[in-house]
């Protein structure tokens, strides 16, 4: 023979207690979820900060490298300009030593006249 249990009637007080227990457990659950999310955000922020710092360092090194290359190129250009200036001056000196074509033709005519007079 099975024993029948008498069903207890639910009262407003019982419901109130259950709602209070449910509210407390939900609050704890939300608090725990918030703590876990904050910890995750903190780890993400730390990783993001590390990535940003690495990118900043790489960018700075890149600019330093470019600055070195630009200085090297500028030095090379200055060397080329100095060399070209020196060569230009040498060419002008050589050109000054050589008579112009019209002067040379005139001198040839004078020499021919003098040779005929001899």
pLDDT of residue 54: 94
State which residues form the domain around 95.
12-117
Number of domains making up the chain: 1
In a domain, 72, yes or no: yes
Question: Cβ(107)–Cβ(99) under 8 Å?
Answer: yes
pLDDT of residue 28: 93
Q: Which two tokens stand for residue 53?
A: 């710092």
pLDDT along the chain (118 residues), means of 10: 70 88 92 90 88 94 92 92 91 76 84 88
pLDDT of residue 22: 92
In a domain, 73, yes or no: yes
In a domain, 7, yes or no: no
In a domain, 77, yes or no: yes
pTM, two decimals, is: 0.41
In a domain, 6, yes or no: no
pLDDT of residue 99: 64
DSSP 22-91: HHHHHHHHHHHHHHHHHHHHHHHHHHHHHHHHHHHHHHHHHHHHHHHHHHHHHHHHHHHHHHHHHHHHHH
């Amino acid at each position: 023979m099975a024993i029948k249990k008498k069903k207890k009637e639910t009262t407003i007080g019982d419901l109130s207690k259950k709602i209070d227990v449910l509210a407390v457990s939900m609050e704890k659950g939300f608090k725990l979820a918030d703590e876990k999310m904050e910890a995750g955000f903190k780890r993400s922020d730390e990783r993001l900060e590390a990535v940003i710092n690495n990118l900043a360092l790489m960018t700075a090194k890149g600019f330093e490298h470019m600055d070195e290359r630009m200085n090297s190129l500028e030095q090379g250009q200055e060397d080329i300009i100095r060399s070209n200036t020196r060569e230009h001056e040498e060419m002008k000196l050589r050109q000054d030593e050589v008579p112009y074509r019209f002067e040379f033709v005139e001198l040839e005519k004078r020499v021919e006249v003098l040779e005929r007079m001899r």
